[in-house]
Amino acid sequence: MALAQAREVRTTCPYCGVGCGVLAGVAAGGAVSVRGDPDHPANFGRLCSKGSALADTLDLDGRLLHPHVGERRATWDEAMALVAAKFADAIDRHGPDSVAFYLSGQLLTEDYYVANKLMKGFIGAANVDTNSRLCMASSVAGHRRAFGSDTVPGTYEDLDLADLVVIVGANPAWCHPVLHQRIAAARERRPRMRVVLVDPRRTMSADAADLHLAIAPDGDVALFAGLLGHLARSTALDRDYIARFTTGFEATLAVASRMDLGTVTALTGLPARQIGQFYALFAATEKTVTVFSQGVNQSACGTDKVNAIINCHLATGRIGRPGMGPFSLTGQPNAMGGREVGGLANMLAAHLDIEDAGHRDIARRFWRSPTIAARAGLKAVDLFRAVGDGRIRALWIMATNPVDSLPEADAVRAGLAACPFVVVSDVMAQTDTTRLAHVRLPSLAWGEKDGTVTNSERRVSRQRAFLPAPGEARADWQQIAELGRRLGHGDAFAWSDAAAVFAEYAAMTAFENGGSRDLDVGAFAAISRPDYDRLEPFQWPRPAGAQPISTRFFASGGFFTPDGKARFIATEPAVAARTTGGHALVLNTGRVRDHWHTLTRTGKSARLSAHVGEPFAELHPADAAAFGVTDADIVEVASAHGRVLVRARITDRQRRGAVFVPMHWNDKYAGRARIDAVIAAVTDPTSGQPALKRAAVSVRRFAALVHGFAVSQCRPDARHCDYWAVGRIEGGWRLELAHGKPLGDIEAVARVLFGAECRDGLEAVAYRDGEHGHGRLALFDGPRLAAALFLAPEPVAVSRSWAVRQLGLEHAERAARWRLVAGRPAADMPDKGAIVCSCFGVGAGEIAAAARSGCASVAAVGAATGAGTNCGSCRGEIRGIIDAHRAVAAG
């Protein structure tokens, strides 16, 4: 058989909302490599660590490849017949509101469009919500309150042009790394540019900022209301802009003026001097962009925070002009695309408003549909409450894992277990959510599917397939269209391909628009399949026949409110900050640098799993001391809703009184680390977005009698332990464990962990010190290390990066084997330390050694070790190590 020709396909990264262009190379033998697309305007060739490792995540290990009914493999026809029968039965008996779709910012715009059309136009309900509700619903609500439309006014270019970038509730160094690097590059070119970070934690983004305001949780409304008052007292107000293009300024200012400096200080926990510094900088800098993300959105007052920020930009007229504007960063790759086609239960497609009878009529006539949803549907948290109390009888979940990602996640799991009919479409066979499905449907993954995504700056890019569909996997839009046809709406769901779906969506944005709605991509209403295949990234709006057109909004008004004016929104800070309700600490959640969501994709990559190997809780040293917790202890973080066991990390980067736990770990990778199970389902009253960054929790040390660490070629099974977490390494797995009771001798523990098929026939070398509770064991397959296990009564003090590197290496000599069991690197194999640069596997120890040998800059460390010279995501951490070395050297 002739080998396929090598080719390179232009596509888009499937992780964050930066939306970087990717060139996926497929070699003649099928091997895939990725690199940044130098011609894509979102990244100009850059990729972060996650994007650079995309090729590591493409194997079919764990994939769902065929439809299943229960545990039984089924045909597509059988599975879809059952889905259609169950949905039709629920609608007949209980009405359209008894069924729901729960979608994902991972879906393509075409998938979203088809699901919304079916639910809102043909089933006649609006119960279509998405995990974007957890991501940026407060930004959507804030935009619509102020602008009358969900419009991000600016572009990424504004970050290059700004003299001041204010980053609020975001950690772009880890969560939007390519934008972080873009800001850093702009700063290097223009040293007068300033960066201010507003975030309770001293994240890696703080290290790159001129000023870090370590604000109290939810202090943002007070900070920006106070800023509005300050601006009014300065010369920074743009009275002409306010008068011509806005309403409500005086009433809003009257409320904001109550925020004197003392009140702002009290509500933000910030020193008056820092607040004054920030206010003066903002007032004096015309070219200011305020970037915000989940720290603003994921809050019980998230919409007010967004409007408090927008108020300051409207008041100064700093909007829609180069280098100016409020700028919401989306978390997910296609959160913005979902918004465009009505991916939220309170919106219609094409930015039509479900609360507007005229808009509902436009949608119904465009779709030629028999009905149209008469009111907003259930937002994510309410939707799953309705699943739990039996109002939802049939639910279809696509490309998301709500059992891990929604607040009160244990209640979500119980609700799904009790729901009469649950369909899950996913690429993975076993997630915490697929386990509860009556029907599982195999979806196409990144690299296999075809469609469009929209990034944070309204730039639409193609995701293109470069791999064949595995097994019987199908595109999500095809699955929903099949349901539409089986429910009797054949003509409306008969697209031949994704290009036809996109063309229909584009036509809808132009339908009876005439400039009345911001979103218009009518230029593509008749796009052909070849043109769709060639489609270059573009920013909307792109109305038919109108080229060129500005891609910024609102420099000269033109808002999408009834009077065409922007609305100032008076925001009242919560003066009585929510207490912790008898619990001691405030929980904050978020991402780590190299992982994404619930690990279904990045958990497959050894290099991405090297940076942070297990779930953790970051505690301030004073809090840790108060709770009797020392570094690397196991701690329980608990609330009335649930508890997790995670590793303690003690750091003064954390605010006192707060604890940070990452969102990624789940039952597949850890024993008890689903942090969203701990979080109360408190939501913003306007947006319905849950407050995932502020929950009341208690923290206590878990009294572990045994701690353990292992590397193994087979996946170890530690489910009998109180605490465990596994992660991929090259050629196998690593395991951390802890238990509150004795586990037995080292051989007995190894037998349980490694299983007979991983142990049999291997040679064991063991050491035990029963008196002190230490045990070490190594299993050799001929000369190669197949597994190693270290047990101790305290956290195991063995270098993880060294141990990981030993797996699969030859250790033929007796001395080498005993060195392994002793957990000591040989002199010629120094300890790398914790991995900092995941692209080249460079550890903190190596970077510190380079600093000690005279490397005084990130570039010098890069030249000596390679660290930071590829994607650059680790440069902040390298800078921190160099600075720490300097501080030590200076005495």
Q: By the criterion CB under 6 A, which residues form the site for ligand SF4?
A: 13, 15-16, 18-20, 43, 47-48, 50-51, 176-178
Q: How far is the CB of 455 from ligand SF4 (least distance, A)?
A: 8
Q: How far is the CB of 47 from ligand SF4 (least distance, A)?
A: 4
Q: Which helix (H) or strand (E) holds 699?
A: strand 695-701
Q: How far is the CB of 600 from ligand SF4 (least distance, A)?
A: 15
Q: How far is the CB of 163 from ligand SF4 (least distance, A)?
A: 24
Q: How far is the CB of 596 from ligand SF4 (least distance, A)?
A: 7
Q: What angle do CA 687, 692, 695 make, to 5 degrees?
A: 120
Q: Output the CA–CA distances (angstroms, integers) from residue 757 to 724, 751, 752, 786, in the order listed.
A: 21, 10, 11, 12
C-beta closer to ligand SF4: residue 20 or 373: 20
Residue type for position 324: M
C-beta closer to ligand SF4: residue 179 or 348: 179
Alpha-carbon span 45 to 51, nearest angstrom: 11
Alpha-carbon span 388 to 417, nearest angstrom: 9
C-beta closer to ligand SF4: residue 47 or 350: 47
Q: How far is the CB of 302 from ligand SF4 (least distance, A)?
A: 22
Q: Exposed, middle or buried, 827 (CB in 10 Å: 0-12/13-18/19+)?
A: exposed
User: Is residue 740 within 8 Å of residue 722, measured between CB atoms?
Assistant: yes
C-beta closer to ligand SF4: residue 43 or 454: 43
C-beta closer to ligand SF4: residue 142 or 876: 876
Q: How far is the CB of 403 from ligand SF4 (least distance, A)?
A: 24
C-beta closer to ligand SF4: residue 45 or 62: 45
Alpha-carbon span 859 to 692, nearest angstrom: 37
Q: What are the strands of the beta sheet with 451-454, ordered from one edge?
A: 451-454, 459-463, 538-539
Q: How far is the CB of 180 from ligand SF4 (least distance, A)?
A: 8
Q: How far is the CB of 853 from ligand SF4 (least distance, A)?
A: 31
C-beta closer to ligand SF4: residue 53 or 206: 53
C-beta closer to ligand SF4: residue 366 or 446: 446
Q: How far is the CB of 21 from ligand SF4 (least distance, A)?
A: 9
C-beta closer to ligand SF4: residue 176 or 440: 176
- Say whether 807 sits in a helix, a strand or coil: coil
C-beta closer to ligand SF4: residue 51 or 732: 51
Per-residue b/e over 795-825, b at no fewer than 16 CB within 10 Å?
Answer: bbebbbbbbbbbbeeebeeeebbebbbebeb
Tokens found for residue 113? 């469009």
Alpha-carbon span 388 to 383, nearest angstrom: 9
Q: How far is the CB of 340 from ligand SF4 (least distance, A)?
A: 18
What is the chain's Cα-based Rg? 27
Residue type for position 591: R
Q: How far is the CB of 592 from ligand SF4 (least distance, A)?
A: 13
Alpha-carbon span 95 to 844, nearest angstrom: 59
Which residues have a Cβ under 8 Å from the Cβ of 827 and sit 6 or more positions away? none
Q: Is the dihedral of CA 77, 83, 89, 92 positive or negative?
A: negative
C-beta closer to ligand SF4: residue 176 or 351: 176
Q: Which residue is nearest to ligand SF4 (CB)?
A: 51
Alpha-carbon span 306 to 509, nearest angstrom: 26
Q: How far is the CB of 453 from ligand SF4 (least distance, A)?
A: 10
Residue type for position 551: T
Alpha-carbon span 829 to 861, nearest angstrom: 20
Alpha-carbon span 501 to 73, nearest angstrom: 30
User: Is residue 12 within 8 Å of residue 29, measured between CB atoms?
Assistant: no
C-beta closer to ligand SF4: residue 20 or 222: 20
C-beta closer to ligand SF4: residue 434 or 873: 873
Side-chain-side CA neighbours of residue 664 (13 Å): 25
